[in-house]
């Protein structure tokens, strides 16, 4: 069994109305791990804790490497172009950024196609792809994604799924909070968050069935 890159053991954490009381999750290199749960179940809170943004009341979180967090609400600045937003997250020059966007797996996201467009003029899919690229410029080996396919058109969804598959194939570790049945098809395993606890979804049980149980 491969070593866990992300290990969450018996974590308890309270944030606003969200209460996690006994959550355990693990993810290894080359795995896409899904976090399933109703709104308010703690998926986003758990990702924030793994990213180091929230401290658990008890339990342990171990991260072997560098984690990049793509939140559901992007941190992009509307009045700036894609390039200027990217420059805020890296010391790379314009030429170096363009090389990353066109000669690495980031080319799948096609951000170079709208590199000089202001964020306020972008579609939701463009914004999401730009947000992912901004996180990936730091070269994390772990990617935390909160609802990456929410409210996106089909081409944008396909680009993001293709990128996730590529990141995984190169040994990256991804944890995804999602409601998307389509996204869960790409997960190695899925954890259900319910009543503050985590359960590894058995093979043969669909996410919809788990939520309705």
pLDDT tens-digit readout, 74-129: 889 999 999 999 999 999 999 999 999 999 999 999 999 999 999 999 999 999 99
**Entry field: residues in the chain:** 213
**pLDDT over 90 (residue 7):** yes
Domains of the chain, by residue range, sit at 4-212
- pLDDT tens digit sequence for 160-200: 999 999 999 999 999 999 988 888 989 999 999 998 999 99
**Whose structure tokens read 């950024």?**
97
pTM above 0.95, yes or no: no
Domain 4-212 CATH class label: alpha beta
- Report the pLDDT value the prediction gives residue 208, as an integer from 0 to 100: 80
Do residues 190 and 34 lie in contact, with contact meaning Cβ atoms separated by under 8 Å? yes
What is the average pLDDT across 135-141? 96
- Report the pLDDT value the prediction gives residue 207, as an integer from 0 to 100: 82
**pLDDT over 80 (residue 153):** yes
Nearest partner of 144 among 121, 176, 118, judged by Cα: 176
Do residues 7 and 26 lie in contact, with contact meaning Cβ atoms separated by under 8 Å? yes
Sign of torsion, CA 185 110 68 125? negative
- Report the pLDDT value the prediction gives residue 212, as an integer from 0 to 100: 79
Exposed, middle or buried by CB within 10 Å (0-12, 13-18, 19+), for 185?
Answer: exposed
**pLDDT over 60 (residue 134):** yes
Tokens at residue 140, please? 């994390």
What Cα–Cα distance (Å) separates residue 164 from each residue in 26, 52, 140? 18, 22, 13
Exposed, middle or buried by CB within 10 Å (0-12, 13-18, 19+), for 137?
Answer: buried
Bridge-partner residues for 8, per DSSP?
Answer: 25, 61
- pLDDT tens digit sequence for 42-80: 999 999 999 999 999 999 999 999 999 999 988 899 999
**pLDDT over 60 (residue 1):** no
């Amino acid at each position: 069994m491969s070593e866990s890159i992300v290990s969450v053991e018996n974590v308890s954490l309270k944030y606003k109305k969200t209460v996690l009381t006994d959550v355990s999750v693990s993810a290894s290199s080359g795995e896409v791990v899904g976090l399933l749960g109703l709104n308010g179940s703690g998926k986003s809170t758990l990702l924030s804790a793994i990213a180091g943004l929230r401290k658990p009341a008890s339990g342990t979180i171990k991260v072997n490497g560098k984690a990049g967090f793509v939140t559901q609400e992007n941190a992009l600045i509307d009045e700036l172009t894609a390039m200027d937003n990217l420059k805020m997250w890296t010391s790379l020059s314009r030429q170096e950024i363009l090389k990353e966007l066109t000669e690495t797996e980031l080319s799948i996201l096609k951000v170079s196609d709208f590199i000089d467009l202001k964020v306020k003029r972008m579609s939701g899919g463009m914004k999401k792809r730009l947000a992912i690229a901004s996180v990936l410029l730091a070269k994390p080996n772990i990617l935390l994604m909160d609802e990456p396919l929410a409210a996106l058109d089909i081409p944008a969804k396909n680009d993001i799924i293709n990128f996730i598959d590529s990141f995984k194939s190169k040994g990256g570790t991804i944890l995804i909070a999602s409601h998307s049945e389509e996204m869960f098809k790409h997960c190695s395993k899925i954890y259900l968050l319910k009543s503050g606890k985590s359960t590894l979804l058995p093979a043969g049980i669909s996410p919809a069935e788990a939520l309705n149980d």
